[in-house]
Amino acid sequence: MTDFSRAAELVAQSSRILALTGAGLSTASGIPDFRGPRGRWTLDPDAEKISTLSYYLTDEAVRRKAWRARADAAVWAARPNPGHLALVDLERQGRLAGIVTQNTDGLHLLAGSSPELVHQVHGNARTWRCESCGLTGPMTEMVARVHAGDDDPRCPTCGGITRATVILFEEALDADVLDAATSLAEQADLVLAVGTSLTVHPVAGLVPYARRNSARVVIVNAQRTPYDGLADAVLRDPIEQVLPRLVPRG
C-alpha cells in the first residue's frame, strides 16, 4: 500500500480529525513561508527583529519597516486555495474536530471554516490593536494609512503604538487557544499535519501528544519534519493538489 493510499484510508475511517496547519498550506495562495528556501526569514535578516516585541515597541525604525512589510504583504491579494477548501469539505462531512493553525493570514476563515473550529495560535494579521488603550479594528484601516504616507500609524483614540494582533517573539501565547488545541489532541482519532515543519513548539508537540492518546498521524509537507517517524503516512506532494484528493467531496 502506498503512503497516499494509507493516508486516504485513514482519513476515510476517521471521525474526529484534528488539522494542524502551517505556512506551507498558504504558499499556493501566494504567501511565502518562513523557513523554506524562499522563506521570509531566509531572505530577510531583519524579519525576526520586526517580529520581536521589545524591538517593535522601542525602535521606531523597526516599526516603520514592520508597517511597510505589513502594507505590502502578499496576504492582501491572497485567496484560499484548494487545500483550505478541502478542510471546509471535511468540516461539512462532520469529521473535522478542529483546526489548530500557526498561520496568521486568516485564509481558513475566508475559505468558510467555522470560526469556532479555527484556533489561531499565533493570532490574526487582519486586525490591529493599540498597545495603550486596547482599541482594535480591521487591519485594512491601518494599511490604507500606510499607503497614504503614515509610516508609523498611531491609535486614532489615544495616540498609542499600534500593531497587528499577532503573537510576537517575547509574548506568551493565548492560554485559551492552547487549552483548546490540547483538548483537540486528546480527543482526535487522526492528526492531519499540513504544511508545517513541526519545529515550533508547543504546536509541534501536539503530534506526539495525540499519538500517545492513540491518534493516527498523517503528515503532508514538502520538507522532512522531526515527527515523520511517528506518522502512519508521509506525503510530499503539493498540498493544494493532494489534500483535495485525500478529502473527496461529501
Are 237 and 210 in the same domain? yes
Residue type, 1: M
Give the pLDDT confidence score for residue 49 in this predicted structure: 82
Q: How far apart are CA 111 and CA 83, in angstroms?
A: 10
Asked if residue 103 and residue 67 are part of one domain, the reply reads no
54 with 162, same domain? yes
pLDDT of 44 higher than 90: no
* Burial tier of 250 (Cβ tally within 10 Å: 0-12, 13-18, 19+): exposed
Residues 142 and 237 in one domain: no
pLDDT digits (tens, 9 = 90+) for 136-161: 999 999 999 999 999 999 999 999 99
Q: Compute the distance between CA of residue 163 and CA of residue 57 in angstroms, rounded to an integer.
A: 9
- For β-strands 17-21 and 190-194, DSSP reports them as parallel
242 and 201: one domain?
Answer: yes
Residue of 84, 108, 119, 122 with catalytic role: 122
Q: What is the mean pLDDT of residues 30-36?
A: 73
DSSP code of residue 230: G
Regarding whether 215 and 141 lie in a shared domain, the answer is no
Question: 238 and 137 in one domain?
Answer: no
Q: Is 158 helix (H, G, I), strand (E, B) or coil?
A: coil
Residue 33 scores a pLDDT above 80: no
Structural contact between residues 19 and 219, judged by C-beta atoms closer than 8 angstroms: no
Number of domains into which the chain is organized: 2
- Output the nine-digit C-alpha cell for 3: 503512503
Integer-rounded Cα Rg, in Å, for the chain is: 19
- What pLDDT, on a 0 to 100 scale, did the predictor assign at position 248? 77
Task: Calculate mean pLDDT across residues 36-46.
Answer: 58
59 and 88, same domain (yes or no) = no
pLDDT at 47: 74
Question: What's the whole-model pTM score?
Answer: 0.93
pLDDT of residue 68: 95
> pLDDT band for position 106 (50/70/90)?
very high
Same domain for 85 and 193: yes
Q: Are residues 94 and 54 in the same domain?
A: no
Over 70: is that where the pLDDT of 35 sits?
no
Would you call 122 a catalytic residue per the annotation? yes
- Of 46-55, 80-89, 169-178, the poorest mean pLDDT is in 46-55
Whether residue 145 is found in the same domain as residue 179: no
pLDDT of 43 higher than 70: no
Domain containing residue 48: 33-72+124-166
Both 193 and 246 in one domain: the answer is yes
Residue 195 belongs to a domain with what CATH number? 3.40.50.1220
* CATH number of the domain to which 156 belongs: 3.30.1600.10
Residue ending a domain, among 166, 192, 218, is: 166
